[in-house]
Structure 1
Amino acid sequence: MNAPVEPGLMQATEVLQRFRTVRARSLALAAPLSPEDACVQSMPDASPIKWHLAHTSWFFETFILEAREAGFQPHHPAFRVLFNSYYNGIGEKHARANRGLITRPALDEILAYRHAIDRRIADLLAAPSPHLIALITLGLQHEQQHQELMLTDLKHLLSMNPLQPAYAADAIAPPVNPAPSRWQQFDAALTEIGYDGAGFCFDNELPRHRQFVEAFALASTLVTNGEYLEFITAGGYQDAALWLSEGWDWIKREALSCPLYWRDNAGWQEFTLRGVQALDLQAPVAHLSYFEADAYARWAGARLPTEAEWEHAAQSADFADLFGACWQWTSSSYTPYPGFATADGALGEYNGKFMVNQYVLRGGSCATPDGHARTSYRNFFPATARWQFSGLRLARS
């Protein structure tokens, strides 16, 4: 599942500190919320904040404590089903679309669950093993993924409220990059992509392998709100020639005419985690579906990069906003690398079984926790997904 971890007491101490830091950040993200905020689910693709807090604890309890704690007893027997996400190897699951109906256990009970799991994991680390440290490291990376989801799910939830409330006055937003965009040229090359052996990786980043890329160019910056507004003004959402057939059917069926969270109220505005703001034309456009990103690229006389092109460029050139602004759609379907193998047991379900009907995004966003993103990271979503901080960087052949 992940990179090997060297044993050692000092490393165990570092992992425990890391464990406490990551777990504390999840609580900090939830701190501005009321119990009502934490319970509601705005759509089937999103989850309540309370569920995220519980599921990330369930992960440590189920995959670590249950196998390694002497005389293991579950914190609550019902939690095994309630907070199982998609692990069929574990057993039954509460339906994803109904997570917002779990009004009980209450938020304070979930917080007590987290504290109890934290104490038990800390006790296990008193006698560490390399495998235990590797599993805890995986659990922390998993929790960081959910920290990003907490912000994106919460943003969608608050956007559905007629009051359009702010999450926090200083909440994250994609940073503005004032540099003009230019085309960075790359010669045809036999490149290597995938995990390079430095630090942690998920199994879908393995194995590192060679891939040939033809000569291409990649834009040095992300597409901005202002540039995307030109696409809208030019009739981009009314021109079927720009859209993939399935994408055209989808935007017509959903009556879409702009990115998610944009508002045209006598001037363009955008709903953000800071509330409704005037649309910043210099900021990178976010919350685009694959279909919207692809249509814009066609309109701009360009295309989306492949994930091999993106990673090759990221390894060898200086680009703005590779990380920390918006995830960047690629034209690559989410499929296994040559030689990919899933791990044994339920943990083998982490990534591999989702390798169908999804597209790869690269980089990272403003919601991605510090230190979590890397050049080989492969994010993935279906072509209609828009609630993540997903934008685009143009490529040309």
Structure 2
Amino acid sequence: MASAKSFDTFPKEITNMIFTFISFFQTPSKRKYNKMLLMMGIILLALNLRPAITSVGPLIVLIRSELNLSNSIAGLLTTIPLLAFSLTSPVVSKISIRKGHEFTILIGLTVLTFGICVRSIPWATTLILGSVLIGIGIAMGTVILPGIVKYYFPAKVGLLTSIYSTTMGMSASLASGFSIPLTNYIGMGWNASLLFWSIFGILAIIIWYTLFTFRGNQKNLIQEDIGKSAKSLFRSNIAWKVTFFMGFQSLLFFSLVSWLPTILQSKGITTSLSGWMLSILLLVGLPGNFLAPIIANRSKSQSGLAVSIALLFFIGIFGIWQVSTINLLMFFVILVGIVQGAGFSLALTFLVLRTKNSKQAMQLSGMAQSMGYLIAAIGPIFLGFLYDQFQTWTVSIIILLISTIFMGYLGHGAGRNSYVFLTKKV
């Protein structure tokens, strides 16, 4: 029988094995090892920040039918994580400063993974509780990412933002596309289909536990003294425009993730095909995810890029509303997918381009993602409510079209060559 001591050393032995395996492919330099493992951690973290949300959209009809939920209540499955995300975001940077970013991300991933498990229990109560935990876990990872990139990779902000935003887009696409096949063809059931995505959370926890152990839980991230408090952001015009650009972009994204399959089904598209069309929308967003930050980082002003994205967003949503043939619907779904990917990664890029150091980046990230996702949380439940009232998607789509106009206006201001703590362009 194993001794108590052997069980005490088990976690350390696991991390030693991981360290040995990774360092086999590395030079003896600890600095290079840290950067390589950190990159792996960033990618795995990003891989977990969307599937818990995007896997729900294609399954809403099944969940609603089995648990006898209204469209408004079903919309909460996407809205509640966003509300929890919004309420948690302002305190994440404070936790990170006090406890260390590795520890904060590790706790966030644990909460997220546990939330996915709880939500897979087929009760209305556990659906809500799990959704709350998912939102908290996602917030703890997402708010810290821009600060980590700004601190550790200041010369490669555009490239690193491209990598992790593309990873988020890819995982979002896979989750929405495989939700129905996992349910129907493999026979897992909708709850087991949702539970499947906890696997990536477990993998990420292992890597961040290893970082936490071998990096000593460093607390020097975002420790620069910039002489400004987070409250200063509320007096910054640029910070507000970045925040609301993030908000309207996110409102469009999460509204489409929640209801696009249902909107397409109302046009005669099958449940399976509508789920794959959402997956295609997310998949074709990957080039936009990758290219937008690189283009933005090489330009003094991103105003033109932001306005162009909003205009194409308007055209794509208008097309989905007006056409009915599969070929044309697919064209406009692809168009929306490309620009939503670009819009999302541009919003993330603003968090680092409009700030001078990692502390400012994390402060702006907390503000933009807290208030921004509060705006986004309105979308899914409000569109579901409007459909319940009017039994048509027309009013809901008009709301989305108006949102693209606001997005363009705010993006024009957020894209100006300035910093959040300056009042004049530089």
The question of a shared fold, defined as TM-score above 0.5 by the shorter chain, is answered with no
Q: Which of 1 and 2 has higher RCO (CA within 8 Å, sep 6+)? A: 2
Structure with greater strand percent? 1
